[in-house]
Chains A and B, each alone.
Chain A
Amino acid sequence: MKRALWLAVCVMFGASAASAEGLDWEVEESADASAPVQATRNVRDGVIGLADAFFDANTAVFGCFALAASQLFMGAGDVVGLVDDNPVTQHVTKGVLSKNLAKVGYLWHLAGAESLLGSHGLEVERWAASDAATLNPLLSDEDVAELEGPLPLDPLVFVEDSMFHADAYQPAAPLVDLGAVVLVDGVMRPVASVLRIAQQREQADALDETATDWFKRALEWGW
């Protein structure tokens, strides 16, 4: 048993001849490795994929609750604003409480949006989309904004000078996002990982890709 395990470890780490570049933690692996090495890598990637889906789900669930909390704070801010920021009281109280509730609402929103995007690598794609679109002469600023996606919202959505901040509310979004987390991280990605362990790499890649596409669409829904 020990020898078999040692053999597996050798195949995984030794035969791949991975070369880390400086302190970069991304490791280059040769694409033309032998069949046993690739098969062992598939098993490794499948196991890591299961763990990854679990941890990503944790981060994303936090994001769902943060988005919900953001809307509750914004709601409280708008209600309190009726008292401390109406045309009469604004000269006295200056909306001090409602504005602070709105700021807290924005912070929750930012945390939620970044958690949801970051949990599935979409934050990096957002940055890359912005830079790549800048290099496309046919795209306007509006097109670039469209590519970046709606989240996170602009801070002004929360603190602009109006009684009701309609654009900050999307009550169903956290529920849709939560549903997406359950489906994507609870079902699709684990199935993809199992397929990977069973050496069905292409099907696993396709399922992973579909899962991320669906998650991205769920995040953009409604905003």
Chain B
Amino acid sequence: MRPTLALLLLALLAPVGSAAQARVWEVNGVRLEASQVERLAGDIARQTVAAVERQPGLALRPEQAGALESVYHSVALDTYDRVVSVVNQDGLDDAAKEAEVKRLVIAGQERSSGRVAEILDPAQYETYRAWEQKQVESFRQRGLWSSGRRARRGGR
């Protein structure tokens, strides 16, 4: 009895973790817990910086790379939050969802671009912006889920 009471007492008195709502994504029955969401956003941000660094004429300084990663990380979390809520809406058909998701992604890209402009030098940003607009235009043209990148990669 004593150990049980002690345990309950400990439970009552012990510090309790943050009550803040953890960011969890669930789409089509696939659920990502908060730590997985965080890792995914971090990985995508790092990979995006790697993609930027590959562009000719965009030699990033280490502090610029770090700042870009931070921007991409926060924009990715924010954009994917909105995308997940759109994809999970019952009232929208696939075409409407796809259009809305594209709009959200492009809006997110524009938000990140504004912050990237503050990080890069003007000459760097000019190169970045030209490449970004080309990429966004290509994104605008392609299908997301039906005939998009995944289909071009042979369904992997």
Q: B-contacting residues of A (Cβ < 8 Å)? A: 1, 4-5, 7-8, 24, 26, 31-33, 35-36, 38-40, 42-43, 121, 124-125, 127-141, 143-148, 198-199, 201-202, 205, 208-209, 212-213, 216
Stretch at the interface among B59-67, B89-97, B117-125, B144-152: B144-152
B99 interface residue, CB < 8 Å from A? Answer: no
Which of A42, A132, A134, A212 has its CB near the most chain B CB atoms (within 10 A)?
Answer: A132
Assuming the A-B contacts A4-B8, A141-B152, are A132 and B16 also in contact, with contact meaning beta carbons closer than 8 angstroms in the complex?
no
Contacts A4-B8, A121-B36, A127-B30 known; A147 to B44 CB distance under 8 Å?
yes
Collect the chain B residues with CB atoms within 8 Å of residue A202's CB: 17-18
B35 contacts across to A, CB distance below 8 A: 205, 208-209, 212
- Report the minimum CB–CB distance from B112 to chain A (whole Å): 9
Main secondary structure of the interface of A (DSSP, over half): helix
Contacts of A33 in B (CB 8 A): 19
CA distance A33 to B51 in the complex (A): 43
Q: Return chain A residues, CB-CB under 8 Å to B148.
A: 134
Instruction: Answer whether A199 and B15 are a contact pair too, CB < 8 Å, given A31-B20, A129-B44.
Output: yes
- Bound complex: CA of A51 vs CA of B32, how far in Å? 20
- CB closest residue in chain B, given A24: B29
Considering the chains assembled together, what is the distance between the CA atoms of A125 and B152 in angstroms?
Answer: 21
- In the complex, are the beta carbons of A124 and B36 less than 8 A apart? yes
CB nearest to B140 among chain A residues:
A137
What residues on B are CB-neighbors of A209 within 8 Å?
Answer: 35, 38-39
Known: A138-B132, A139-B47, A148-B156. 20 other contacts (CB 8 A): A1-B4, A8-B4, A26-B26, A26-B31, A40-B11, A42-B14, A128-B32, A129-B40, A129-B44, A133-B47, A135-B83, A136-B76, A137-B109, A137-B139, A143-B48, A199-B14, A201-B16, A201-B17, A202-B18, A208-B35
